[in-house]
A and B are shown apart, each in its own frame.
Chain A
Amino acid sequence: GEDVEQSLFLSVREGDSSVINCTYTDSSSTYLYWYKQEPGAGLQLLTYIFSNMDMKQDQRLTVLLNKKDKHLSLRIADTQTGDSAIYFCAVVYSSASKIIFGSGTRLSIRP
């Protein structure tokens, strides 16, 4: 079946790097996404990676994909207080265009 798993919480010190991990079950995925949700707000598409890529970098964000282990990670360099949010890993499968979401990782920043 289709499932996406994430840890629920992550706490990092301001200025450190944050690494949010995600695992998924179905290997037929095409695109893999990271969405950010701030309190009371919608889902903001942060970045995405196509399944034939291993890494994508976009300013402070680095996405790593290990297809063999079905593992996706999001690294945020120099984490700032504005990065506090829930981060959702999400996977699109080739058999359908629906997105399967993880449960979200709540990132909190310590001073």
Chain B
Amino acid sequence: EPEVTQTPSHQVTQMGQEVILRCVPISNHLYFYWYRQILGQKVEFLVSFYNNEISEKSEIFDDQFSVERPDGSNFTLKIRSTKLEDSAMYFCASSGDRGDQPQHFGDGTRLSIL
């Protein structure tokens, strides 16, 4: 069964450094998402992306965050200058040709900011 893959599984970064989290969505999916889960808290929506532009973003997704689909397969989340509070599990998801179809999640990237 096709799946969403994320790399790396764990990223350790110094505070203030830039980090790029990578995702390969399911190949025929058109909608892409990033969510995060701070340890012990709810999974929170960050951003949705369709047709090469952001569809919606949450208030968490400030100017330090950006997303890109650099080629036909990858979908990336960049955090420009990481803060301690960015430490979390980041999940990528994708869904088919309608935005309300089931979203399939990757296994996540654990981001640890030192």
A90: chain B residues within 8 A (beta carbon): 43
Which label, helix, strand, loop or mixed, suits the secondary structure of the B interface? strand
B interface residue count range (under 10 / 10 to 19 / 20 to 34 / 35 or more): 20 to 34
Residues from chain A with a CB closer than 8 A to the CB of B44 are 101
Contact A99 B103 (CB under 8 A): yes
Consensus secondary structure, chain A interface = strand
Among the listed B31, B45, B105, which residue makes an inter-chain contact with A35, where contact means beta carbons less than 8 Å apart? B105
Chain B contacts to A: CB under 8 angstroms: 31, 33, 35, 41-45, 48, 55-56, 58, 91, 93, 95, 99-108
How many angstroms from the CA of A44 to the CA of B48 in the assembled complex? Answer: 19
Tell me which residues across on chain A come within 8 A of B33, comparing CB atoms.
97-99
Give chain A's interface residue range (CB within 8 Å of chain B): 20 to 34
User: Could you name 10 residue pairs across A and B whose Cβ atoms are closer than 8 Å?
Assistant: A33-B102, A33-B103, A42-B108, A43-B91, A45-B102, A94-B100, A96-B56, A97-B33, A99-B45, A99-B103
